């Protein structure tokens, strides 16, 4: 039946496990989202940036006179102007500092050199084009392995004599830090004693999250009140407010950060970028709102890249396939400034999850970071701080080991899984895994895809000269950073807050310090509250992203929202329920101990007919509170999680390869995820679809590459290839459920599992298809050309 007014709200009490449709859709499907560039303020100016054409050069002169002559151009600033305000450099999240505008030299191509403010976006662009900059090119460092050569050009002259940084000693002006974990001696000894050893080098190439909405910011300094409002595409508004206060010295109460609807984040919208700073400075100096929205080229060339880990692994095992030890060395290319978005104590993030789902007794990992003439980073691109690199490393390596042992890769994994009875499991590199059932999940995946039949088919095809491969990945993630004893960013502990206000008529507003970018919090937070309080989900509104109203929290990235803010939401609701119980006892005229919460209402113990709903309790909280009890029904809860959560999954991929063209066709992909308790199965499936597609993109298409002069080779969407509907495979999803024992609702987080787990499945499948030709490894992205070259060098006839 046709409805006259669109009313998309799911109705009634809709708790955990219900696939209700999303509350937030209503505005997006009619074009009424409110993204940053949709916001226009009276008297607003536009900003454009001048970028360097060189990857490394001295700046001899900047001439802004022609730019200032262009009608509408109000001002042009350079590093000198910022220096007067003490803002020419800003601290990075990784304990380094970075130039806002190039200060004396540029360190990567497209680096920001000057900012132009104008009355229209066209005048700003014209102004930026008219700024004349004189450069003297310098030798560049592109290859991270050459960064610390004795004769390598010094990139960071500002710290060239500082032989110690935020994370310990530096051995070269281009060396940032060396981080290690585990016992090197014991691991080497165990490796030496192992019957079988494999070694493999592999690169996780530089990639970029490239959300479809670029980054942007509107600085709005109100000179009358002294209050700065900043509209920003940020995944972490509260952290931004605190950092802005520390950097600008504006009292934090005079800063309001509003993160409006975000058109995808994927980690790209966590750091503070020079464009943001220049828009804010412009507003303070010019006394008008200043908007900056980056171009796609600015997005791909200057904002947070991801990955760029160059990894060497050695694994030891017994002849019958039991792993004994793992040793890893990684070189991390951080670009010109160490702007990695990692918790303070973990310069290589959570890379030490690299022992994966397997019971390694000994392990050691070392990561070294170096400067190169590339944009700074790296951000956790749909990833919990380098868990993507770690997961790819171990899952790819298990296949290399299986190949060496001539063992089926599924069998090797089954032989080495951490067993359910071993949880909580202390890993060799120091984590305590909360729960998991790896064998069960893999068996579900193998059965779903028909693994044994596929192996038979593969043998038959191979005999006929056809190329077919099967790839497995049984990853374990580490997400939900995190417990305040270990996790902070710039000293701010990584707990999260939730606030619930139940109104007298039984509706509620709930707020969190997280900021969704498509994850569906407006629906899932409402479901948690509906579950815990028995309120109708359509009467719960969820609000995030305004630091004036939301409780403090560190934001949405690294799959942390459900593990942290989701926990806070459940516990805030339970605190409300405790108070509601007292009011219910008053209404039911019994003692509090005689009241129980059954079927989402309060009833007198053992008397089902005598009950009150939360709606009735809410009304009483404001109209008829028990004598002596504080009226009202609202609370804020800050949740400091006791541990991280460890989602896992088993992915199986089948590929067919065209011998003539090198084209890899993903025939099937089965993804069985275990993210603990599922809040909304529809949303979880959507997250898995999207994550798998980004994993597919990394395996086959996306790469931020540079030439020898440091020229960026992927500065737009015709060079940086994202999958369309045409290339993207069809996903088959499923679940096992192993709840987290320590999370208030048993949930673990899911948004990143598929991006973390799937690349290895794709690459393993391709290598499996070519293994009989002597192929042991191919680095991502696996382009047709790469496969074509492998086939030709193996002497394979195209027909």
Partner 1 sequence: MEITLKINGSEKKLSVEPRTLLVHAIRDAGLTGTHIGCDSSSCGVCTVVLDGKTAVKSCTMFAVQAEGHEITTIEGMAQGGQLHPLQQAFHDQHGLQCGYCTPGMIMAAHVLLQHNPNPTEEEIRFGLSGNLCRCTGYQNIVKAVQQAAEMLRQPSSAAADD
Question: Would you say 106 and 133 are in contact if contact means Cβ atoms under 8 Å apart?
Answer: no
Position among 89, 266, 371, 495 found at the interface with partner 1 (CB under 8 A): 266
Q: Single out the segment in contact with partner 1 by CB under 8 A; choices: 7-15, 478-486, 488-496, 560-568.
A: 7-15
Binding residue for partner 1, selected from 356, 647, 690, 749, defined by CB under 8 A: 690
Binds partner 1 (CB under 8 A): choice among 71, 80, 84, 122: 122
User: Which of 307, 382, 515, 668 is labelled catalytic?
Assistant: 382
Parallel, antiparallel or unpaired: strands 305-306 and 377-379: parallel
Nearer to partner 1, 399 or 694 (CB): 694
Q: Which residues pair with residue 707 across a beta bridge?
A: none
H/E stretch holding 17: none
| Coil, helix or strand at residue 95 | coil
Separation CA 530–CA 668 (nearest Å): 37
- Annotated active-site residue 383? The verdict is yes
In a 13 Å sphere around the CA of 725, the CA atoms on its Cβ side amount to 0
The residue from 7, 225, 593, 623 that contacts partner 1 (CB under 8 A) is 7
User: Using the rule CB under 8 A, which residue among 349, 469, 506, 518 binds partner 1?
Assistant: 518
Cβ closest to partner 1, residue 467 vs residue 688: 688
Of the candidate residues 262, 652, 775, 780, the single one contacting partner 1 (CB under 8 A): 262
Burial class (CB in 10 A: 0-12, 13-18, 19+), 246: middle
Contacts of 159 (CB under 8 A, 6+ apart): 165, 173
Q: Would you state the structure tokens that stand for residue 682, as one six-digit string?
A: 């529809």
Q: Among 456, 460, 469, 467, which residue's Cα sits nearest to residue 799?
A: 467
- Contact status, residue 650 vs residue 451, Cβ threshold 8 Å: no
The CA angle 449-452-455, to the nearest 5 degrees, is 100
One of 61, 151, 161, 212 touching partner 1 (CB under 8 A): 212
**Near partner 1 by CB under 8 A: residue from 153, 264, 504, 632:** 264
Spot the catalytic one: 404, 531, 616, 752. 752
Q: Binding string, 720-759, against partner 1, x = CB under 8 A?
A: --x-xxx-x-xx----------------------------
Per DSSP, the three-state class of 113 is strand
Which DSSP letter does residue 383 get?
A: S
Number of neighbouring beta carbons within 10 Å of residue 484:
13
The whole-angstrom separation of Cα 112 and Cα 215 is 15
Neighbouring-strand partners of residue 194: none
Q: Which is nearer to partner 1, 649 or 691 (CB)?
A: 691
Minimum CB separation of residue 110 from partner 1 in Å reads 14
- Tell me the sheet residues that pair with 219: 230, 290
Residue of 14, 98, 111, 235 with catalytic role? 235
Report CA 602 to chain centroid distance, whole Å: 40
497 SS3 class: strand
To partner 1, the closest distance from the beta carbon of 258 in angstroms equals: 16
Q: Which of 18, 22, 175, 310 binds partner 1 (CB under 8 A)?
A: 22
Nearer to partner 1, 10 or 356 (CB): 10
Select the span of 29-37, 65-73, 93-101, 192-200 touching partner 1 (CB under 8 A): 29-37
**Across the strands, what pairs with 417?**
358
For partner 1 (CB under 8 A), the number of binding residues is 67
Min CB(451)–partner 1 separation in Å: 23
Distance (Å, rounded) from C-alpha 566 to C-alpha 544?
Answer: 13
| Among residues 66, 455, 563, 683, the one that binds partner 1 under rule CB under 8 A | 683
Rule CB under 8 A: which of 424-453 touch partner 1?
A: none
What minimum distance in Å lies between the beta carbon of 496 and partner 1?
21
Site string for partner 1, 217-256 (x = CB under 8 A): ----------------------------------------
C-beta neighbour count of 3 within 10 angstroms? 7
Query: Which residues within the stretch 703-722 sit at the binding site for partner 1 (CB under 8 A)?
Result: 716-718, 722
Residues 6+ apart with CB under 8 A from 464: none
CB of 781 to partner 1, least distance (A): 17
Q: Which is nearer to partner 1, 553 or 691 (CB)?
A: 691
C-alpha–C-alpha distance, residues 366 and 184, integer Å = 9
Phi-psi region of 480 (alpha: psi -120 to 50; beta: other; left: phi over 0): left
User: Angle at the Cα of 411 (from 410 to 416), degrees rounded to 5?
Assistant: 100
* Residue 366 appears among annotated catalytic residues: no
Residue 728 CB, shortest distance to partner 1, in Å, is 5
Choose between 448 and 689: whose C-beta lies nearer to partner 1: 689
Is-catalytic flag, 235?
yes
Alpha carbon 253 to chain centroid distance? 29
Q: Is 623 in the site for partner 1 (CB under 8 A)?
A: no
CB of 10 to partner 1, least distance (A): 7
- The answer to whether 687 is a known catalytic residue is no
- Given the complex with partner 1, which of 235 and 344 has the nearer CB atom? 235
What is the nearest approach in angstroms of partner 1 to the Cβ of residue 395? 20
Contacts of 618 (CB under 8 A, 6+ apart): 502, 503, 504, 505, 506, 580, 633
Nearer to partner 1, 640 or 658 (CB): 658
Could you tell me the smallest distance in angstroms from the CB atom of residue 39 to partner 1? 9
> Of 2, 161, 606, 797, which one interacts with partner 1 (CB under 8 A)?
2
CA torsion angle 616 549 532 605 (round to 10): -40
CB of 666 vs partner 1, minimal distance in Å? 12
Q: Which of 383, 389, 396, 544 is catalytic?
A: 383
Q: Evaluate the omega torsion of the peptide bond into residue 685 and state whether it is cis, within 30 degrees of 0.
A: no
CA–CA gap between residue 95 and residue 113 (Å, rounded): 23
194, 234, 530, 693: residue in contact with partner 1 (rule CB under 8 A) = 693
Q: Give the E-state strand segments of 161-308 in sequence order.
A: 164-165, 168-169, 175-182, 196-204, 216-222, 227-232, 255-258, 290-293, 305-306
- Least distance in angstroms from the C-beta of 296 to partner 1: 4
CB closer to partner 1 out of 52 and 687: 687
Residue whose CB is less far from partner 1, 410 or 697 = 697
Q: What are 73's strand-pairing partners?
A: 118
Stretch that binds partner 1, among 19-27, 95-103, 170-178, 603-611 (CB under 8 A): 19-27
Cα separation, 285 vs 74, in Å, equals: 11
- DSSP β-bridge partners for residue 671: 651, 733
Shortest spacing between CB 16 and partner 1, in angstroms:
18
Region from 77-85, 139-147, 498-506, 511-519 binding partner 1, contact rule CB under 8 A: 511-519
Compare residues 664 and 671 and give the one whose CB is closer to partner 1.
Answer: 671
Binder among 92, 397, 519, 556 for partner 1 (CB under 8 A): 519
The length of the chain, given as a count of residues: 799
Contact 760, 396 (CB under 8 A): yes
Site string for partner 1, 32-71 (x = CB under 8 A): xx-x-xx---------------------------------
Q: Between 753-770 and 784-793, two packed helices, what is the crossing angle to 10 degrees?
A: 20
- The answer to whether 255 touches 245, Cβ cutoff 8 Å, is yes
In angstroms, give the least distance from the CB of 540 to partner 1.
17
Six token digits for residue 27: 């505005």
- Residues from 291 through 330 that contact partner 1 (CB under 8 A): 293, 295-297
Q: What are the residue numbers of the active site?
A: 235, 382-383, 752
List of residues contacting partner 1 (CB under 8 A): 1-10, 21-22, 24-33, 35, 37-38, 121-122, 210-214, 261-266, 293, 295-297, 517-520, 682-683, 685-687, 689-694, 716-718, 722, 724-726, 728, 730-731
């Amino acid at each position: 039946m046709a409805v006259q007014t669109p009313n998309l709200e799911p109705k009634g009490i809709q708790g955990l496990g219900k696939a209700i449709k999303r509350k937030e859709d209503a505005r997006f499907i009619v074009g009424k989202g409110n993204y940053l560039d949709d916001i226009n303020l009276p008297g607003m100016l536009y900003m454009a940036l001048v970028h360097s054409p060189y990857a490394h050069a001295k700046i001899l002169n900047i001439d802004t006179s022609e730019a200032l002559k262009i009608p509408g151009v109000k001002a042009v600033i350079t590093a000198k102007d910022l220096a007067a305000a003490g803002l020419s450099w800003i601290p990075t999240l990784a304990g380094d500092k970075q130039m806002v505008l190039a200060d004396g030299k540029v360190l990567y191509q497209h680096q920001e050199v000057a900012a132009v403010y104008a009355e229209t976006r066209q005048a700003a662009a014209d102004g930026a084009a008219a700024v004349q900059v004189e450069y003297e090119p310098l030798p560049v460092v592109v290859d991270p392995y050459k960064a610390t050569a004795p004769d390598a050009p010094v990139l960071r002259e500002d710290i060239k004599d500082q032989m110690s940084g935020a994370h310990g000693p530096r051995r070269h002006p281009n060396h940032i830090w060396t981080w290690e974990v585990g016992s090197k001696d014991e691991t080497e000894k165990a490796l030496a004693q192992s019957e079988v050893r494999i070694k493999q080098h592999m690169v996780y190439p530089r990639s970029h999250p490239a959300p479809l909405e670029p980054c942007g910011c509107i600085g709005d300094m109100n000179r009358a009140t002294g209050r700065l409002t900043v509209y920003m595409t940020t995944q972490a508004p509260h952290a931004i407010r605190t950092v802005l206060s520390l950097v600008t010295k504006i009292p934090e109460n005079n800063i309001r950060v509003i993160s409006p609807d975000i058109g995808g984040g994927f980690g790209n919208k966590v750091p503070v970028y020079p464009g943001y700073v220049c828009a804010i400075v412009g507003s303070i100096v010019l006394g008008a709102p200043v908007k900056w929205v980056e171009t796609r080229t600015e997005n791909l060339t200057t904002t947070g890249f991801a990955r760029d880990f160059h990894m060497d692994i050695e694994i030891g095992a017994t002849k019958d396939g039991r792993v004994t030890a793992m040793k890893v060395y990684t070189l991390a290319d951080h670009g010109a400034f160490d702007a990695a978005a990692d918790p303070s104590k973990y310069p290589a993030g959570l890379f030490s999850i690299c022992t994966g789902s397997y019971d390694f007794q000994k392990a050691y990992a070392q990561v070294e970071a170096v400067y190169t003439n590339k944009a700074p980073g790296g951000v956790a691109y749909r990833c919990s701080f380098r868990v993507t690199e770690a997961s790819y490393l171990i899952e790819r390596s298990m296949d290399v080991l299986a190949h060496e042992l001539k063992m089926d890769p599924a069998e090797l994994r089954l032989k080495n899984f951490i067993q359910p009875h071993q949880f909580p499991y202390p890993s060799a590199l120091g984590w305590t895994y909360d729960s998991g059932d790896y064998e069960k999940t893999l068996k579900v995946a193998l059965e779903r895809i028909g693994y044994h039949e596929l192996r038979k088919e593969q043998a038959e095809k191979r005999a006929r000269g056809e190329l077919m491969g099967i790839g497995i990945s049984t990853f374990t993630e580490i997400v939900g950073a995190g417990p305040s004893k270990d996790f902070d960013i710039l000293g701010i502990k990584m707990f999260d807050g939730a606030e619930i206000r139940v109104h007298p008529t039984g509706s509620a507003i709930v707020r969190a310090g997280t900021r969704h970018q498509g994850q569906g919090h407006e629906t899932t937070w409402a479901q948690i509250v509906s579950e815990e309080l028995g309120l109708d989900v359509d009467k719960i509104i969820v609000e995030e992203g305004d630091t004036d109203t939301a409780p403090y929290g560190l934001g949405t990235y690294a799959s942390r929202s459900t593990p942290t803010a989701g926990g806070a939401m459940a516990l805030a609701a339970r605190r409300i329920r405790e108070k509601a119980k007292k009011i219910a006892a008053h209404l039911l005229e019994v003692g509090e101990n005689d009241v129980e919460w059954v079927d989402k209402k309060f009833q007198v113990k053992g008397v089902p007919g005598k009950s009150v709903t939360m709606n009735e309790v809410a009304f009483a909280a404001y109209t008829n509170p028990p004598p002596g009890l504080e009226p009202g029904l609202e609370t804020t809860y800050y949740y400091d999680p006791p541990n991280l959560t460890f989602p896992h999954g088993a992915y199986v991929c089948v590929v067919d390869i065209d011998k003539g063209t090198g084209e890899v066709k993903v025939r099937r992909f089965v993804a069985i995820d275990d993210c603990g308790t599922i809040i909304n199965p529809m949303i979880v499936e959507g997250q898995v679809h999207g994550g798998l597609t980004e994993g597919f993109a990394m395996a086959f298409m996306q790469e931020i590459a540079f030439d020898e002069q440091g020229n960026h080779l992927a500065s737009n969407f015709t060079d940086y290839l994202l999958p369309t509907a045409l290339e993207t495979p069809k996903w088959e999803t499923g679940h096992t459920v192993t709840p987290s024992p320590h999370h208030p609702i048993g949930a673990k987080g899911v948004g990143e599992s598929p991006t973390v787990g799937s690349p290895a499945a794709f690459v393993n499948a391709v290598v499996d298809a070519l293994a009989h030709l002597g192929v042991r490894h191919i680095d991502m992205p696996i382009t047709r050309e790469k496969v074509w070259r492998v086939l030709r060098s193996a002497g394979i006839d195209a027909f």
